[in-house]
């Protein structure tokens, strides 16, 4: 149930264009995932893929133009979803949008999102994701700037881009979701989504036409003021990750920030609501 990764931390100067060259060369040598930090790059490779000479293939490490030091450690990741992933059946929402894994046969639907969830939430199977997909399918995203907060696998951001949204920011607090979103965005050949690892503190000074946030009741309540501040006038907020019983609390918090209820969906006690900024 676990995969062992070796995580390398490269401290590099100058960072630009060093980080870009380093990531390209590490990718070619077999590293799978990268996180750019302020002083360098974190790079991950599965232990099975690693061999002693692998860093010899990375030419930038011996280049005199860059000053690079690195440390590494083994990291064990428990893949809680592994058993479930093996049973990951494709889903089709409202006969219009298929969400499937790369190993499934293609669907003949207008929208098809290919997701390899690994450890991240967001395949469309969960009620909240399913209803958020329904909201996105019904809404006009053409030319709209979008934030997908708590992006998970980035399934919603990817669908938003397929529906014409541009540009899109996708944020998740979890490192695995950040990395998995990057993979899924590339897999679906999307060009207008920028992924960030972090939380609402990243949103200072940002503005969007549409915000999608499927997280949970308490985080939504906590971050509502920030979402409202980031929404353009007449902007639309789609919220999920909470139960029917929480509607009045969520709506009250929204109203406080001039966000007013437009529409809502409910599935097995879960809800997904649409608000508009006055
Ligand atoms: C319910 S999942 C939704 C994933 C995906 N958007 C979907 O609809 O399937 C919530 C996601 O929010 C992330 N998250 C939790 N707290 C957060 C926070 N404070 N800021 C940003 N993301 C957060 C979690 O890591 C998780 O990936």
Task: State the binding site.
Answer: 129, 150, 172, 214
Nearest CA, atom 24, ligand 1? 150
Q: What is the overall mean pLDDT for the chain?
A: 89
pLDDT in tens, 32-51: 777 777 788 888 887 888 88
Residue with tokens 């992933």: 85
pLDDT in tens, 179-216: 989 999 999 999 999 999 999 999 999 999 999 999 98
Nearest CA, atom 16, ligand 1? 173
The reply to whether domains 2-78 and 122-277 share a CATH topology is no
User: Is residue 1 scored above 50 in pLDDT?
Assistant: no
Q: What percent of the chain has pLDDT over 70?
A: 91
pLDDT for the residue numbered 3: 58
Task: State the binding site for S-adenosyl-L-methionine.
Answer: 129, 150, 172, 214
ipTM of this complex: 0.99
What is the average per-residue pLDDT within 164-170? 98
Please give the CATH superfamily to which domain 122-277 belongs: Vaccinia Virus protein VP39 (3.40.50.150)
User: Is residue 126 scored above 90 in pLDDT?
Assistant: no
Q: How far is the CA of 275 from the centre of ligand 1 (A)?
A: 19
What is the average per-residue pLDDT within 110-123? 79
- CATH class, range 2-78: alpha beta
For 36-45, 87-96, 115-124, which range has the lowest pLDDT when averaged over its residues?
A: 115-124
What is the average per-residue pLDDT within 148-169? 97
pLDDT in tens, 223-268: 999 999 999 999 999 999 998 999 999 999 999 999 999 999 999 8
pLDDT for the residue numbered 42: 83
Torsion-angle region of 236 (φ positive above 0: left; ψ -120 to 50: alpha; else: beta): beta
What is the average per-residue pLDDT within 47-76? 85
| Domain assignments of the chain as residue spans, ordered by start | 2-78, 122-277
């Amino acid at each position: 149930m676990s995969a062992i990764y070796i995580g390398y931390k490269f401290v590099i100067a100058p960072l630009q264009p060093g980080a870009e060259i380093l990531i390209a060369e590490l990718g070619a040598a077999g590293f799978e995932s990268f996180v750019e930090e302020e002083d360098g790059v974190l790079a991950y490779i599965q232990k099975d893929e690693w061999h002693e000479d692998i860093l010899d293939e990375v030419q930038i490490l011996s280049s005199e133009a860059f000053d690079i030091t690195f440390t590494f450690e083994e990291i064990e990741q428990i893949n809680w979803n592994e058993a479930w992933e093996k049973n990951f059946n494709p889903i089709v929402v409202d006969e219009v949008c298929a969400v499937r894994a790369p190993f499934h046969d293609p669907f003949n639907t207008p929208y098809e999102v290919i997701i390899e969830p690994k450890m991240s939430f967001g395949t469309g199977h969960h009620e909240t994701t399913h209803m958020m997909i329904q909201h996105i399918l019904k809404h006009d995203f053409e030319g709209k700037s979008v934030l997908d907060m708590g992006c998970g696998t980035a399934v919603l951001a990817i669908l938003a881009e397929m529906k014409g949204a541009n540009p899109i920011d996708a944020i998740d607090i979890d490192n695995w979701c950040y990395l998995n979103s990057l993979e899924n965005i590339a897999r679906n050949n999307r060009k207008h989504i920028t992924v960030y690892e972090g939380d609402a503190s990243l949103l200072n000074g940002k503005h969007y036409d549409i915000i999608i946030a499927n997280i949970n009741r308490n985080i939504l309540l906590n971050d509502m003021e920030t979402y409202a501040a980031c929404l353009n006038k007449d902007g639309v907020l789609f919220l999920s990750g909470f139960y029917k019983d929480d509607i009045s609390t969520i709506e009250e918090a929204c109203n406080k920030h001039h966000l007013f209820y437009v529409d809502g969906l409910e599935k097995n006690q879960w809800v997904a609501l649409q608000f508009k900024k006055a």
